[in-house]
């Protein structure tokens, strides 16, 4: 079921947390994304928090102060966990109830005063952690523009394989190497075979790339052998985040046949720390991608009228680059691309439904990623492989530097936000990491 608009989306709502009322704030009171944090220089265990302006609402503190006494016991217990899995497992109705309670607590209301106790932590005083224990990670290939662009580079006469328009393509990723934003990414090494070489070599990757993606966290899971219908798929989705699925393109080109991605992908995947709920995204729903008249319609198990009408999300996505030289000279990052998540060929509901269609059991905290988000227009491509045409068209930077792929010291930042007239702008925060030389 698609979350509906309610009073938490009201544009007139303001918070007594002043920073949340700034027009360009990612985390106004209409957003309230979930994450996990730990106070810096503290031996306290990790805690669940909700982002509000430049602060974090400490849910354990709220429970201890009995601010949530009216909530069900299972929900209160989930709020004091060190990861979000227990809260995710309770389902979307429990998350919605908690979000409504927090909205009431944080808003300016003539009938109540802000709590006297300090229930907020400055983001600068907190280390943001992975929001959940991620048992499994699946990466899709849901942008037809990305699939076509990449296909043209390797198969000019047959860029899009015949199954693409029928089945949401994906591969099983590595959960152990998923890290929160801010953790440096070491340049990987592996087997690569230069075009003019007779045999491969084991060496550092020379074609390190980022991939701009949207991640989807599973909320309530399903039992093994029990598929999830397309009409119920979003009941099993807790929320969305940003994902950078780092890729070593030279390793990938040598190893991917016949079974697909392996070491070129599993050395690191970076997540943004905040999960934006589907309820917060309700004002920014779009119709699913409009297929051409020549394209087949989704098979019945992947089709529903409601998903076609509102299965998309109008999320603007950006990639920013700041080189080591730019940082040394005090220069701002440059934007490499900007696109929209609404242009994905497959919706997140279709991805999740297909994943479970064979009876695969999805579990709370599992991560599904969209694959690289690219649109049709120039400058919307979500990776350097596309932007530089496999390194043949270098990008010029303000320092005089050029890039075909990433150099050591490069800092990549992914950003996402939603804007629509009549509603507050909401954001996803940043997904940021710096490339460093191999250990």
Q: How far apart are CA 343 and CA 143, in angstroms?
A: 7
Q: How far apart are CA 366 and CA 377, in angstroms?
A: 32
What's the longest Cα–Cα distance across the chain? 77
> CB of 301 within 8 A of CB of 402?
no
> What DSSP letter does each residue of 70-114 carry, written as one string?
TS-HHHHHHHTSSSSHHHHHT-HHHHHHHHHHHHHHHB--TT---
Q: How far apart are CA 128 and CA 37, in angstroms?
A: 4
Long-range contacts of 303-311 (CB under 8 A, 24+ apart): 303/230, 304/230, 304/231, 304/349, 306/2, 306/231, 307/230, 307/231, 307/233, 307/347, 307/349, 307/350, 310/2, 310/285, 310/286, 311/285, 311/287, 311/347, 311/348, 311/349, 311/350
Q: Which one is catalytic: 146, 236, 354, 355?
A: 146
Residues with Cβ within 8 Å of residue 66, at least 6 apart in sequence: none
Residue (of 182, 248, 247, 206) closest to 413 by Cα position: 182
Q: Specify whether 70 is catalytic.
A: no
Q: Which two tokens stand for residue 86?
A: 């227990």
**Catalytic residue set:** 146
């Amino acid at each position: 079921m698609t979350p509906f608009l309610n009073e938490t989306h009201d544009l007139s709502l303001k918070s007594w947390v002043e920073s949340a009322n700034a027009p360009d704030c990612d985390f106004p009171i209409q957003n309230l994304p979930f994450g996990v944090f730990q106070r810096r220089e503290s031996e306290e265990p990790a805690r669940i928090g909700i982002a509000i302006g430049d602060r974090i609402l400490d849910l354990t503190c709220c429970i201890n102060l009995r601010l949530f006494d009216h909530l069900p016991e299972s929900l209160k217990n989930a709020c004091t966990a060190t990861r979000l899995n227990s809260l995710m497992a309770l389902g979307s109705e429990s998350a919605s109830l908690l979000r409504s309670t927090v909205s009431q607590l944080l808003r300016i209301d003539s009938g109540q005063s802000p709590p006297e106790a300090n229930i907020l932590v400055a983001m600068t005083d907190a280390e943001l952690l992975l929001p959940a224990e991620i048992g499994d990670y699946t990466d899709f290939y849901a942008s037809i523009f990305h699939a076509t662009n990449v296909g043209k580079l390797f198969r000019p006469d047959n860029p899009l394989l015949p199954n693409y328009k029928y089945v949401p393509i994906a591969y099983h990723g590595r959960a152990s190497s998923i890290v929160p934003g801010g953790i440096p990414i070491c340049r990987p090494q592996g087997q690569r075979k230069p075009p003019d070489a007779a045999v491969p070599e084991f060496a550092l990757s020379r074609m390190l790339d980022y991939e701009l993606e949207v991640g989807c966290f599973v909320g309530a899971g399903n039992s093994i052998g029990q598929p999830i219908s397309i009409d119920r798929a979003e009941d099993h989705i807790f929320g969305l985040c940003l994902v950078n699925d780092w890729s070593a393109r030279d390793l990938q080109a040598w190893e991917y046949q016949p079974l697909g991605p392996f070491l070129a992908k599993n050395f690191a995947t970076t997540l943004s720390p905040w999960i934006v709920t589907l309820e917060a995204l309700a004002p920014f729903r779009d119709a699913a991608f409009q297929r051409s008249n020549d394209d087949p319609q989704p098979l019945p198990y992947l089709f529903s009228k409601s998903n076609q009408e509102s299965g998309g999300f109008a999320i603007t996505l950006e990639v920013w680059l700041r080189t080591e030289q730019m940082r040394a000279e005090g220069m701002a990052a440059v934007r490499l691309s900007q696109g929209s998540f609404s242009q994905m060929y497959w919706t997140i509901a279709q991805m999740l439904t297909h994943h479970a269609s064979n009876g695969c059991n999805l579990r709370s905290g599992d991560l599904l990623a969209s694959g690289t988000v690219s649109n049709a227009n120039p400058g919307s491509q979500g990776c350097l492989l596309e932007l530089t045409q496999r390194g043949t068209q270098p990008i010029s930077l303000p320092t005089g530097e050029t890039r075909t792929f990433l150099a050591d010291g490069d800092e990549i930042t992914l950003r996402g936000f939603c804007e629509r007239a009549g509603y507050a702008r909401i954001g996803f925060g940043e997904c940021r990491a710096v490339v460093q030389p191999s250990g």
